Amino acid sequence: MNSFRLLSVAAVCVLAVFFFVLEKEYERHLVEENRQEAMNDAQRRADSLKSKINLRIARDIHILYGLRALVEIDPNITQEQFSKFAASVRETSPGIVNIAAAPDLVVKYVFPYEPNKKVLGLDYRQQAPEQRRAVFRSVRQSRPVIAGPTELVQGGVAIILRLPVFTRTVTGERKLWGILAAPVSMDQIFKDVEFSFYESEYEIAIRGKDGLGRNGAIFYGKEELFGATQEALITSVPLLNGSWVLAMKPKGGWPGGKGPDTAIIGYFFAAFVMTSILFVLVSAYFRERSLARKKIEVSLKEKSEFLEILTHEIRSPLQGVLAVQKYLLDNEINPKFRELVSTARETGDYIVSLINDYLDLQRAESNNLQVIKQPTDVRLLLSRVLDIVGVMHNNSNVSLITNVSDDVPDLVLVDERKLKQVLVNLVTNALKFTDLGVVRIKITHNLSDTDPTLGISVEDTGIGISSDALNSLFDRFTRTEHSEHRVGSGLGLTIVKTLIDVMDGEVEVTSQVGEGSMFRIELPAEIVSQLDLEKMQEAEVPAKSTYKNLRSLSVLIADDMLVNRTLLEALLKPSVGSVSVAEDGSEALDLLNKEKFDLVIMDARMPVMNGIDAVKRIRNDSRLSGLPVIGLTGVDSNTSHASMLDAGMDRVLTKPVNIDVLLKEIDIVLGERGSMDHSGD
């Protein structure tokens, strides 16, 4: 309790400092807020001004488009006709100072005629480089070009709009007729966009002559306004062939704002007092919550340990049950009993699948479900899936149809085990809920530049799913109203969704009651080329093979369950030289001290001394440290396997263990340990 009070006092002191800093920060925030508000307002004004300028210039260009259309209709227009049309254009937009038309780039028409007739005959190709480049840029780009602003001979400043004119030949080909040019008074533009309204509050400068943006010359306002020290608001005004850059700053500079008054300081002090009181109360509350959370963590840990023990205790007898069934099926057995034993075997495998389903859910929830991608033959995988579900497909009223598209590669990179589990669950589910009709499996491959995917659909003509049930279809232990009489744990579709999610795929379902359902899967699946496959194979270091020498092998089995010891002994004896058994780790160590063995098969959980403690003693004994040890466990988790490997076991297998897998692991371990002569036959 004293430490809690001391912590509370220290926390209140920290709060006092915090509120002092907060008050100062609030002052700074008010200054910044006032400044930001002014900048936002300036930005709105700048956006408004640039929009008006853009629209004003665009209006004149569109007016010139009308004149261009008349010239294109009648390329041999007379000066009188040109003047008539040009007068209409100028009347519409008084800012246009004059208009010239230059067929073949030589000025032939002008308006007004008298003040501008001296320009007749002017050849743009012979003009100054800057003007010549602007003319040819307009022709080359086949669009209007804005030049300037520039000073006019007759006085004033204007931008020059140049518009290329094209006509069609008798064969329909597009041919350059010439160019239209029209200076537009900047004074009129500024007047039309109400420039003086903006300039009454802001210092304004514009640069970007000839549409060159930041690289163009300044043609309005003070150059200093573009300097970094001025902190002016800079915005771009888009043009047809480039842009202008607008700089704006409030006259008198940006506002600095003012700090809070005494009342605000009082508010902060009151907030400090209230917060301190709340802190003490909340601290006490969370202290109680912390104690409760620790109790929950202990409970969850106990639950996890219980699940590990439970799965081990379930898998261990299943090891014996499944091994007996395999032993009977692999040897001569009365045909009338073979079907019963086979059915029992399927039931045992189903129990194992239920355990695996639940453990996969637990791992996914704790982010421990790993994705192991490997080159996979999808067609072969589908064949194995059909073999697995084939024992359930004994309804002659349901046809199972598969279709693997030709575009599916020979090998793709996916997690083969998880994909097989997904397909088995989906196909089994489809068969389970289809009494009459068809179950179709279709696989395609979508090849894109960035993310190739495998598309899988499982469609049935079964009982279907209601729209209400679709919302909770992937929830664990969920069954629809039409599936209560069907066999299953209610975990199948939950597992499908979980596995697809961890593989970064997507799954969706469409269904209609009485007509069937369709599950669609999209899964990342890169193509594995032959070169890629060879590189992967080269990267794998092949284990030395000793399989032909196993008949001289002396094996010690340590397992606390009699049925497991008996069956492992019976299954191993045809392949090895001799087999001895022990009931726990202590008895196994006694036998190792008395006899010589080439290999130990050690169960992880045993009374008196467990397998982990026993293998640690083996590794600490100089006489036995090189002895190969294969561990067996009913706990299928990375943590459990890692602890057994860290203790010194060479390999770890999860129960129930297939004898063929066990023999293969024995072969690999002996090759790695080098404990036998490899030159045998």
Residue-level pLDDT at 649: 92
Residue 499, pLDDT > 90, answer no
Residue 346, pLDDT > 70, answer no
**Residue 270 is encoded by which pair of tokens?**
């009151």
Q: In this structure, how many other beta carbons lie within 10 angstroms of the beta carbon of residue 75?
A: 13
Domain membership of residue 454 (yes or no) is yes
Q: Please tell me whether residues 505 and 556 are part of one structural domain.
A: no
Residue-level pLDDT at 477: 46
Domain membership of residue 16 (yes or no) is no
Residue-level pLDDT at 118: 87
Residues 417 and 382: beta-carbon distance below 8 Å: no
Tell which of 539, 566, 599 closes a domain: 539
Residue-level pLDDT at 424: 87
**Choice between 540 and 105, residue whose per-residue pLDDT is larger:** 105
Residue-level pLDDT at 494: 82
Domain membership of residue 234 (yes or no) is yes
Q: Please tell me whether residues 494 and 578 are part of one structural domain.
A: no
Domain membership of residue 85 (yes or no) is yes
Residue-level pLDDT at 258: 53
Q: Please tell me whether residues 239 and 160 are part of one structural domain.
A: yes
Q: Please tell me whether residues 192 and 127 are part of one structural domain.
A: yes
Range of the domain at 596: 547-673
Domain membership of residue 73 (yes or no) is yes
Q: Please tell me whether residues 51 and 84 are part of one structural domain.
A: yes
- What DSSP character marks residue 123? B
Residue 546, pLDDT > 50, answer no
Domain membership of residue 236 (yes or no) is yes
Q: Please tell me whether residues 506 and 379 are part of one structural domain.
A: yes
37 membership: H or E segment, kind and range: helix 2-73
**Residue 513 is encoded by which pair of tokens?**
């009651």
**Nearest by Cα to 451 from 505, 532, 379:** 505
Domain membership of residue 189 (yes or no) is yes
Q: Please tell me whether residues 570 and 501 are part of one structural domain.
A: no
Q: How confident is the model at residue 495 (pLDDT cuts 50, 70, 90)?
A: confident
All residues at 6 or more sequence positions from 460 whose CB lies less than 8 Å from its CB, including other chains: 430, 431, 433, 434, 437, 438, 439, 440, 516, 517, 518
Tell which of 220, 253, 286 closes a domain: 253
Residues 634 and 644: beta-carbon distance below 8 Å: no
Mean pLDDT for the stretch of residues 371-398: 80
Beta bridge partners of residue 633, listed in sequence order = 654
CATH code of the domain covering residue 135: 3.30.450.350
Q: In this structure, how many other beta carbons lie within 10 angstroms of the beta carbon of residue 273?
A: 12
Q: Please tell me whether residues 428 and 503 are part of one structural domain.
A: yes
**Choice between 386 and 295, residue whose per-residue pLDDT is larger:** 386
CATH code of the domain covering residue 652: 3.40.50.2300
Q: For 20-51, how does the pLDDT look when each residue is reduced to its tens digit (9 = 90+)?
A: 666 667 667 777 888 888 889 989 999 999 89
Q: How confident is the model at residue 541 (pLDDT cuts 50, 70, 90)?
A: very low
Domain membership of residue 391 (yes or no) is yes
Distance CA 150, CA 119 (A): 17
Longest dimension (CA), the chain: 128
Of 124-133, 390-399, 442-451, 585-594, the range with the highest mean pLDDT is 585-594
Residue 430, pLDDT > 50, answer yes
pTM beyond cutoff 0.75:
no
Strands (E), 447-512: 453-460, 506-512
For the chain, the domain total comes to 3
**Residue 324 is encoded by which pair of tokens?**
């007996």
CATH code of the domain covering residue 428: 3.30.565.10
Q: Please tell me whether residues 517 and 576 are part of one structural domain.
A: no
Q: For 225-258, how does the pLDDT look when each residue is reduced to its tens digit (9 = 90+)?
A: 988 787 888 999 998 778 999 999 998 888 865 5
Q: For 113-172, how does the pLDDT look when each residue is reduced to its tens digit (9 = 90+)?
A: 888 888 898 888 888 787 778 788 878 878 888 888 988 877 889 999 988 999 888 787
Q: Please tell me whether residues 78 and 210 are part of one structural domain.
A: yes
Distance CA 96, CA 258 (A): 49
Q: Please tell me whether residues 441 and 565 are part of one structural domain.
A: no
All residues at 6 or more sequence positions from 274 whose CB lies less than 8 Å from its CB, including other chains: none
Residue 454, pLDDT > 80, answer yes
Tell which of 481, 516, 539 closes a domain: 539
Phi (first) and psi of residue 633, to 5 degrees: -150, 150
Mean pLDDT for the stretch of residues 350-360: 65
Residue 615, pLDDT > 90, answer yes
For tokens 């067609």, the residue is 379
Mean pLDDT for the stretch of residues 616-630: 91
Mean pLDDT for the stretch of residues 462-476: 77
Q: For 548-562, how does the pLDDT look when each residue is reduced to its tens digit (9 = 90+)?
A: 568 889 999 999 888
Q: How confident is the model at residue 183 (pLDDT cuts 50, 70, 90)?
A: very high
Of 18-27, 184-193, 632-641, the range with the highest mean pLDDT is 184-193
Q: What percent of the chain has pLDDT over 70?
A: 73
Q: Please tell me whether residues 169 and 150 are part of one structural domain.
A: yes
All residues at 6 or more sequence positions from 184 whose CB lies less than 8 Å from its CB, including other chains: 57, 60, 93, 95, 96, 97, 158, 159, 160, 161
